[in-house]
Homo-oligomer: A and B are copies of this chain.
Amino acid sequence: MPIDTSQPVFVLVRPQMGENIGAAARAMWNFGLQRMRLVAPRDGWPNPRAVAMASGAGRLLDEARISESLACAVDDCHWVLATTARGRDLTKPVLSPERAMQLAAGKIAAGERVAVLFGPERTGLENDDIVRANAFVTVPVNPEFPSLNLAQCVLLMAYEWQRQRVQVVHEVDAPGRHDWASALEVEKLAEHYEARLEEAGFFFPEAKAANMKLNLRNLWSRMRLTRADVQMLHGIMRQMVRWKERGGEAGRD
């Protein structure tokens, strides 16, 4: 398979648990990332526990490039990001995940290859790894509880990549095909309610009637009504009128 250079490679450096490698593959593939590299996985390779955990994302493991050293793993990359926890005394830029993936998208569009490094579960990346990075990424976690695991860190970086890459639609009024009521249909509904409620003596006292009618009109337009909703609301009012016209009958049931 030709190398897909349109997305960053995610490099797991000396990962320990196969389960975490599989979970990281799932997290990547959830957001369309498929280029995984592994540096010296502790339990060797292939790892059946990784495969079992990856399930639908197993292809990423099949195609993962395995290296003995980080230097080999990123040999073709032009910009290397290292994920780290807070608080290191660093002489290189520290980026938010959002900013990091913005910059990555720009560099990739310009033909560069970008790698994101994730350290081993317990210890994180070591200084020997970190010297190979051009910049750092730190997830802004709660300082009282900064306990992201490997797959969660991968998930958040993959999510941010997706956010930068795809023009996410932030708001859709109502997906699917709906049979919305027209303004005329809503107008007729409003008139129906107004007429019946007038008869029923609802708009009382007189001084407040105009305002009460306004509020009711506002309610109909604030809800976006389908034609089925309009029919149902007509039906409710008709039924109340019928019930009233039956007079005391209901009491006798």
- Interface of A: prevailing SS: loop
Residue of B with least CB distance to A55: B147
A168 CB within 8 Å of chain B: yes
Q: Which residues of B contact A95 (CB under 8 A)?
A: 170-171
Contact of A175 among B89, B98, B145 (CB under 8 A): B89
A92 to B174, CA, bound (A): 5
A29 CB within 8 Å of chain B: yes
Contact of A29 among B145, B155, B166, B174 (CB under 8 A): B145
Q: Which residues of B contact A146 (CB under 8 A)?
A: 30
* Contact A96–B145 (Cβ < 8 Å): no
A49 CB within 8 Å of chain B: no
Contact of A170 among B99, B141, B144, B168 (CB under 8 A): B99
A133 CB within 8 Å of chain B: no
* Contact B142–A176 (Cβ < 8 Å): no
Contact of A98 among B147, B155, B170, B177 (CB under 8 A): B170
Contact of A168 among B57, B140, B162 (CB under 8 A): B140
Q: Which residues of B contact A152 (CB under 8 A)?
A: 27, 30, 152, 155
* Contact A174–B90 (Cβ < 8 Å): yes
* Contact A98–B163 (Cβ < 8 Å): yes
Contact of A173 among B93, B159, B176 (CB under 8 A): B93
Chain A, interface residues (CB within 8 Å), range:
35 or more
* Contact B175–A94 (Cβ < 8 Å): yes
A97-112 vs B, CB cutoff 8 Å, 1 = contact: the mask equals 0110000000000000
A48 CB within 8 Å of chain B: no
A226 CB within 8 Å of chain B: yes
A216 CB within 8 Å of chain B: no
* Contact A93–B141 (Cβ < 8 Å): no
Q: Which residues of B contact A176 (CB under 8 A)?
A: 88-90
A147-182 vs B, CB cutoff 8 Å, 1 = contact: the mask equals 110001001100100110010111111111110000
A30 to B122, CA, bound (A): 17
A46 CB within 8 Å of chain B: no
A235 CB within 8 Å of chain B: no
A55 to B178, CA, bound (A): 47
* Contact A32–B96 (Cβ < 8 Å): no
A173 to B94, CA, bound (A): 6
